[in-house]
Amino acid sequence: MSTIVRFAPSPTGRIHIGNARAALLNWLFALKTGGQFILRYDDTDTARSTQEFADGIKTDVAWLGITPSRVEWQSKRFGRYDEVAADLRARGFLYPCYETADELDRRRKRQQARGLPPVYDRAALNLTAEEKAAFEAEGRKPHWRFKLAQKAVEWTDLIRGPVHIDTATLSDPILIREDGSYLYTLPSVIDDIDFGITHVIRGEDHVVNTAAQIEISRAISQTVPVYAHYSMLLGADGKGLSKRMGSLSIQSLREGGLECMAIVSLTSLVGTSDNIHPCTDIKELVDGFDLGKLGRAPARFDEAELATLNAKLLHMTAWSAVKDRLDYGNEAFWLAVRGNIEKLADAKFWDDVIHQNLKMNVATEDMAFIAKARELLPVEPWDHTTWKVWTDAIKAASERKGKTLFMPLRHVLTGLDHGPELAALLPLIGRQKALDRLK
């Protein structure tokens, strides 16, 4: 049987680094097993879902290198959800409740004050037809809860191992609001059944939900997917990322100049037993992918580590992979400067260093040395050996060596005391510009 997984973002905003992790782990699993990856828009919240956000998610998913087998929209399936809900009502799995949010809140607080767990007491199951009619006459509309079996639900999680949850410790979940709109759970379970989802790979914050979803799945069709719950992402400080997700949206990271594969590498490897390192090709990640490598301890997402990874990735990136993204330079330029940039846009700085007219100030004690260096500057053509030929001649004529020889030359040629190897940079500067700067 072919594996089928899904990534189900809500188009009420742009996807962030946590969403990207979910998408990538499912995508890698699909590629590893030769399965299918479904992009499903969970857009039952019609008031907040927008086409603009859906388009943004499509852009972000494509930029991450993910190609869905197909795309589904929950908003197109309300008829199917209504059909299943009616069947669950008829068979006694869904029951109407008339408590207001304030009443439920007061009830929970009373339970907590008595040292009891804040679990719904199923009072609505005892309502008579007359009591229900009285609530309806007041203008109250019921919300609908799923009646849990109140017994142990067990499954073998591909990451957490054997899991056991007694649904008697849980409140019967609300599946349908007073206005008739659906919460996340029922459409998600129905879609997983109808689309043949074989594996649900998601964050550990859904573990308790899974027990209820397994019961709902069995009530509808007895079809239950395999579950894998990975640990949640924390910041480098050990705190949650929730307040910073805006700055960690895939859109903002992309617009901030980060490379796709730096984000893909970090989010795919963080929290695993593999060392985090830059991968230039998704194949390397697919070959090494194993859900068993994902640990149960919280994974740490460090923005500084992402920046470092981005730089390392660029340092090993071939010219062919960037040439269409730069409107300047050539392969020799790229090979010369790539080791000195953190983001691709940084390459422009070195292009300016090479081509702009720079006016240098030379220290008094170096003026004679620079004049002699200018006299000894070789004639063109130049190549990667020119720097050594030139500096060997300067060394013999001046008796300078080491930093006292190289640093004044670097400063007068580039205006900086650091940068790419001058053996690679000097031929790009060219003899005439070098002569001008050595004046």
Question: Which one of 297, 317, 337 terminates a domain?
Answer: 317
Residue 245 confidence (pLDDT): 59
Same domain membership, residue 124 and residue 101: yes
Residues 291, 300, 269, CA angle at the centre, nearest 5°? 35
Same domain membership, residue 170 and residue 128: yes
Q: Identify the CATH number of the domain in which residue 364 sits.
A: 1.10.10
Q: Identify the CATH number of the domain in which residue 85 sits.
A: 3.90.800.10
Give CA torsion, residues 368, 369, 370, 374, to 10 deg: 100
Question: Which one of 296, 317, 338 terminates a domain?
Answer: 317
Q: What is the rounded CA–CA span in Å between residue 256 and residue 52?
A: 21
Q: Is 219 exposed, middle or buried (0-12, 13-18, 19+ CB in 10 A)?
A: buried
Same domain membership, residue 147 and residue 103: yes
Q: What is the rounded CA–CA span in Å between residue 173 and residue 177?
A: 11
Q: What is the rounded CA–CA span in Å between residue 243 and residue 115?
A: 32
Same domain membership, residue 436 and residue 329: yes
pTM: 0.92
Same domain membership, residue 297 and residue 149: no
Residue 362 confidence (pLDDT): 81
Q: Is 401 exposed, middle or buried (0-12, 13-18, 19+ CB in 10 A)?
A: exposed
Q: Which two tokens stand for residue 251?
A: 């859109």
Q: Identify the CATH number of the domain in which residue 288 sits.
A: 1.10.1160.10
Question: Could you count the other beta carbons within 10 Å of the beta carbon of residue 323?
Answer: 13
Question: Which one of 217, 234, 251 terminates a domain?
Answer: 234
Same domain membership, residue 399 and residue 331: yes
Q: What is the rounded CA–CA span in Å between residue 376 and residue 435?
A: 10
Same domain membership, residue 196 and residue 64: yes
- Distance spanning both ends of the chain, measured CA to CA: 75
pLDDT-flagged residues of the chain (< 50):
none
Same domain membership, residue 326 and residue 201: no
Same domain membership, residue 424 and residue 327: yes
Residue 242 confidence (pLDDT): 62
Residue 54 confidence (pLDDT): 97
pLDDT digits (tens, 9 = 90+) for 238-264: 787 765 556 789 999 999 999 999 999
Structural domain that includes position 417 = 318-439
Same domain membership, residue 322 and residue 439: yes
Residue 399 confidence (pLDDT): 84
Domain total in the chain: 4
Same domain membership, residue 64 and residue 209: yes
Same domain membership, residue 167 and residue 43: no
